[in-house]
Amino acid sequence: MTTMPTRTVAPTRTWSTVLFDLDGTIVDSAADITASLAHMFTQLGLDVPSDDALRSYVGPPLLDSLRLTAGFDDAEAWAALNLYRDHYGEHVLRSPVFPGVAGVLERLHAAGIPVALATSKPESMARTVLDHHDLAKYFTVIAGASDDEELSTKADVVREALRRLQAKGIDTSNAVMVGDRGYDALGAAANGVPTIMVEWGYGSPAEAGDAMSVVHSADQLRNLLLDHGRTAQTTAQDALR
């Protein structure tokens, strides 16, 4: 990862607001999530899926994945989810922030661009993670899944993040999402928001098809959001027409 250069000139404001995913975008949490999933399957007396299969659970609402991927019925899925949460709650703060991402958040904040979190991780847990890494101060809104999973899909979470921003009087007409999975792009698109995909996350190249752009480093993300955001914004708007 290239070290972000220090600039004395204030960046030009481009996007009206930027929404971020959490797991795989801000924090490198896959190892801790998959370890808790492995613990969950073991406690249930089931074979632990392969590492690749476990990583597929990272991103989408876990309750849905337990039903659709693991084949659990509603009662089994909730029992498994509670086992997972109990274990993961003891390890959630171990996940590090990806290199350079904190600097991007700081620069956006300094530029006066409102930043929101839109994650399918439970909102209370997501806030704890951001607080732990001293990143919550950069976010105007922190939106995540509800503990009862009634609010859990990416489309619903993005919609809620936009609603909260609008309630604060923030312009969301030129919003952009930053995520790492096709699931992020689809959820944002359902709300008319384009997505920048980060390559350092957990998505496959095939998942980038619905993204406006793909970035390979925090430097590229910063440039796209701040230095060259106007061109990207026009491209995104054209793509959505």
CATH architecture of 17-28+97-240: 3-Layer(aba) Sandwich (3.40)
The CATH classification number of 30-93 equals 1.10.150.240
**What residues are labeled active site?**
21
Looking at residue 7, its pLDDT comes to 34
All structural domains of the chain with their residue ranges? 17-28+97-240, 30-93
Token pair 């960046």 is found at 11
Close Cβ partners of 208 (under 8 Å, ≥ 6 residues apart): 182, 185, 197, 214
- pLDDT (0 to 100) of residue 147: 85
The DSSP call for residue 23 is B
d(CA 233, CA 39): 43
pLDDT averages per 10-residue partition of the chain, 241 residues: 36 79 96 96 97 90 92 96 94 94 97 96 94 98 91 94 98 97 95 97 91 96 79 43 41
Which 3 state secondary structure label does DSSP give 115? strand
pLDDT at 227: 72
At 173-182, the pLDDT tens digits run: 999 999 999 9
Q: Which amino acid is located at 81 in the chain? A: L
Q: Quick one: which of 110, 117, 108 has its CA closest to 178? A: 117
pLDDT for the residue 228: 53
Angle, CA 39 vertex, CA 33 and CA 41 arms, to 5°: 105
The pLDDT, as a whole number, for residue 238 is 43
The neighbouring-strand residues paired with 173 are none
Exposure of 182 in the CB half-sphere (CA atoms within 13 A): 8
**Separation of alpha carbons 151 and 138, rounded Å:** 24
